[in-house]
Chain A
Amino acid sequence: MGQIELKGVTKRFGDAEVIPPLDLQINDGEFVVFVGPSGCGKSTLLRLIAGLEDVSGGTINIDGRNATDERPAQRGLAMVFQSYALYPHMSVRKNIAFPLKMAKMSKAEIDAKVDHAAKVLNLSSYIDRRPGQLSGGQRQRVAIGRAIVRSPKAFLFDEPLSNLDAALRVNMRLEISELHNTLKTTMIYVTHDQVEAMTMADKIVVLQAGRIEQVGSPLELYRSPKNRFVAGFIGSPKMNFIGGAEAAKYNAFEIGVRPEHIAVGPTGDWQGRVTVSEHLGSDTFLHVETQHGLINVRAGGEVGVHHGDTVWLTPDRSQMHRFDQQGHAL
């Protein structure tokens, strides 16, 4: 079980309201990702759920029980921290055993659980080492191990992959997704990286300035962003925005077209000059200077366009997003 419900939760630090009243429903077994730019309040929200910070107002229900005033340990949640927060003076075994020891479990039971977790996470060969002797990825696994032995109602991840290098990050992303498939436990995952959000989440919560901009599945957010912020935040490379007369043609204050929804050809709607073309093999990213500003285009890997070439761009009208003056989607 692991159903979490936030009702009118607010958080103030002094006079600054970091999180205005906020409602959110997280279902049992869901993989929910909080995503947003740094300072958007996503980590604070996670810490409120964990109980590491007091809410300034509202209630937090876990499995239907009001947990607002419970201490972190009473909530039955486990957290994996950005810095891993391993106890440097304890071996891997003792690190993983620590929450069980605090729960006053018998020694035999602790050993069995720790061994099992170590096996699942491929940690058995380092079990007697100290965290200082482990690589980044291994430390990450120990942190996860310490979380899973408690069989928590939900896992909370606070930007767990941001200290890893790019290749390892992709691996750990897969491992966490697999872990979720195996355990089927609720997971709440905080990241500023929209790629992580898109690849891992069942449900993405996009936050900005403490406010929820949109909640939905990755594809919902991709296909029908509610506003300009979500449209610009989700998707890589970023959506192109064009205002002025060109947007007025489509009855909008501003229009948005994703780079992958623009065709390059000898004729088309917009004429421009290629300033940079990045050939990645599978794709080619073109930066094109047009009379509507700089437009990014994602073309096929075999496109033979180079710096200085003049090209014509045609947006796919069925995939075009239109926004009003306030940035709401039309």
Chain B
Amino acid sequence: MARASTTQRKIVVTVIAWIIALAIFFPILWTILTSFKTEADAIAIPPKFLNFTWTLDNYITVQERSDYFRHFMNSVIISLGSTVLALIVAIPAAWSMAFVPGKRTKDILMWMLSTKMMPAVGVLIPIYLIFRDWGLLDSRTGLIIVLMLMNLPIVVWMLYTYFKEIPGEILEAARMDGASLGKEILYVLTPMAVPGIASTLLLNIILAWNEAFWTLNLTTSNAAPLSTFIASYSSPEGLFYAKLSAASTMAIAPILILGWFSQKQLVRGLTFGAVK
């Protein structure tokens, strides 16, 4: 390749890449734009791209008519709750597997992974019946428990791969320096593991927020998070594009922002460390 053509080539690549990227992003962009239109503008033919009257009415209506905020809080509580619970169980487990590995550690890790491979539909019925009998249907507690268990293997794995990167010698140095197990974890391990714990937290919140099998099957109204709430717009009487867009925008915006921060960790978390 002649070096002189590099800039030219870069411009061509830039144009192609931007066109493709905008095409992929377009449905999201379109949803966001539509959320600021009046219902008439939303279904106008030909579609109005920017030449419409901007309005916030849809957001207000969505909140007033369907108590959007309650579903939003359900999503927050369920995804945050299940994630924090998973971390509480997973941090000690990952510590143990990374720093005091035994003969069976690898088997345990693989077994945990295998639980994740089980399709949810295989256990849907018992979980549904248990929840019905225990009064957990349509409750946030029930969903927190299920989502926590569902994501626990990913959390353990992610933390494990992060902890593995902390050299054991540093913890031994702390032990030689007189730190007890508690102080070793508090002063040395935790500060070093904070980036890893944070990205695990982030990815798990995203997964829990977007989960749509258990939320659809186990909640109806009271505990319904946004994924279930949005599904209620699929019925014909909910067919108002602008309001649908406003509700959708509010449902995906927080996660879109979190997600953009966690691109790199996403790869590690979703491939169980098989691709770094």
Contacts and interface: CB of A to CB of B under 8 A. Distances in A.
Contacts of B192: 87-89
Q: Which of B172, B175, B177, B183 has the most chain A CB atoms inside 10 A of its CB?
A: B177
A52 B191 CA distance: 22
A87 B176 contact: no
B187 to A, nearest CB: 8
Contact of A99 (B170, B172, B177, B188): B177
B183 A82 contact: no
A98 interface: yes
16 contacts: A72-B172, A72-B175, A72-B176, A73-B175, A73-B177, A79-B173, A82-B169, A83-B167, A83-B169, A85-B173, A87-B170, A87-B174, A98-B177, A99-B178, A146-B177, A150-B177
Interface in A72-119: 72-73, 77-79, 81-83, 85-89, 98-99, 102-103
Contacts, number: 56
Which secondary structure dominates where chain A touches chain B? loop
A35 interface: no
A50 interface: yes
Interface of B: 167, 169-170, 172-179, 183, 187-188, 191-192
A110 to B, nearest CB: 13
A89 B166 CA distance: 12
A102 B179 CA distance: 6
Main secondary structure of the interface of B (DSSP, over half): helix
B21 to A, nearest CB: 35
Contact of B176 (A77, A83, A88, A103): A77
B173 A103 contact: no
B96 to A, nearest CB: 17
A236 to B, nearest CB: 29
A81 B175 contact: no
Given A85-B170, A87-B170, A79 B176 contact: yes
A50 B175 CA distance: 10
A81 B179 contact: no
Contacts of A50: 176
A307 B29 CA distance: 76
B172 A89 contact: no
Contacts of B173: 79, 81, 85-87, 146
A50 B170 CA distance: 14
A145 to B, nearest CB: 12
A323 B188 CA distance: 53
Given A85-B169, A85-B172, A73 B179 contact: yes
Contact of B175 (A52, A82, A86, A146): A52
A272 to B, nearest CB: 48
Contact of B177 (A83, A89, A102): A102
Nearest to A149: B177
A87 B172 contact: no
Interface in A136-178: 146, 150
Contacts of A73: 175-179
Contacts of B183: 102
Contacts of A88: 170, 192
A126 B157 CA distance: 38
A98 B188 CA distance: 10
B183 to A, nearest CB: 7
A142 B85 CA distance: 39
A77 B175 CA distance: 11
